[in-house]
Amino acid sequence: MNIAFFSTKAYDKESFDRYRSTFDLTYFEVPLQEHTLKLAEGFEAICVFVNDHLTASIINQLADGGLKIIALRCAGFNNVDLDAARNRGVKVVRVPAYSPEAVAEHALALILALNRKTHKAYNRVREGNFSLERLMGFNLHGKTIGVIGTGLIGAAFARTMQALGCRLLAYDVVENPDLPLAEYVKMEELLGQSDVISLHCPLTEATKYLIREETIAAMKDGVMLINTSRGGLIHTKDVIEGLKTGKIGYLGIDVYEQEEHLFFRDWSEQIIQDDLIGRLMSFPNVLITAHQAFLTQEALQQIASVTIQNLQEYAEGRHLKNQLN
């Protein structure tokens, strides 16, 4: 079976090349969009990532060309029109879990860097500045951590923070029975009591702009907000206002609402046209990484293994246990 990979980076090729004896793999660096659609012609299967947008129009055109299966090499699926795929008989599979610890540990890295200002200290020392002025942090031990979304990643994050001696509050529409160390509370209580709030929920119609003017107003003054899930969970303009007033004391994000136009590419020699991310980067208490929370050796190996397993199940006519539609 021929498989077309979109939004491919060097680390993707390294992870998937070991399976060339199983499938015929073709890599494209560009994302899958209307203007790159012709690259997918003649392929029975495509493998896509978070910023490949499979709208109803794109899916219909791909199905007309013989596409049978879409393999997401990620857990999130908000970028795929599942109804359109189902109507055209196109299977959609994903990787539901790939080293939840990788994302949980990155969330902790953002917290520690923002708190202890290690990124600023690193730059200072390299310039010969050994002053400790304006590097004051706080002890995480004893602080209240709010975990919104307690699936595999949220649970891994909660266990990590519990090991640091933090009090854990949790919110989810479905409570995780394997997370006895966290106290499940209403959203209002979590927002009002948490010193640090970390988002670990999928992007759906119900969670879009979960963090907005009203929910920010309910938070403690100076709260630390962390997002390693999906950019659309946060209303960026409202968060900027929260930073300006000091309601949000720290912001660490690995995802961004408009990241599809920026992330995974080098813009260092160009003028970035996105005024919102430019404003975010101007704050001294904001730390942004470019969707790298998943980027560990273990996670990449798991992503490749499960993706190929999904495609093998399809090729052999077996039950697709990771099918979405």
Residue of 94, 230, 257, 313 marked active site: 230
Q: Which two tokens stand for residue 309?
A: 């397993």
Q: Is 279 a catalytic residue?
A: no
Q: Which two tokens stand for residue 317?
A: 């006519």
Which amino acid, 145?
A: I
Residue of 73, 94, 257, 259 marked active site: 259
The span from the CA of 198 to the CA of 267, in Å, is 28
Which amino acid, 218?
A: A
Contact (Cβ atoms closer than 8 angstroms) between residue 88 and residue 102: no
Measured from the Cβ of residue 179, the count of other Cβ atoms closer than 10 Å reads 20
Q: Is 259 a catalytic residue?
A: yes
The span from the CA of 100 to the CA of 104, in Å, is 6
The span from the CA of 71 to the CA of 48, in Å, is 6
Closest to 22 in 3D by CA, of 53, 45, 40: 45
Which amino acid, 26?
A: T
Q: Show which residues are catalytic.
A: 230, 259
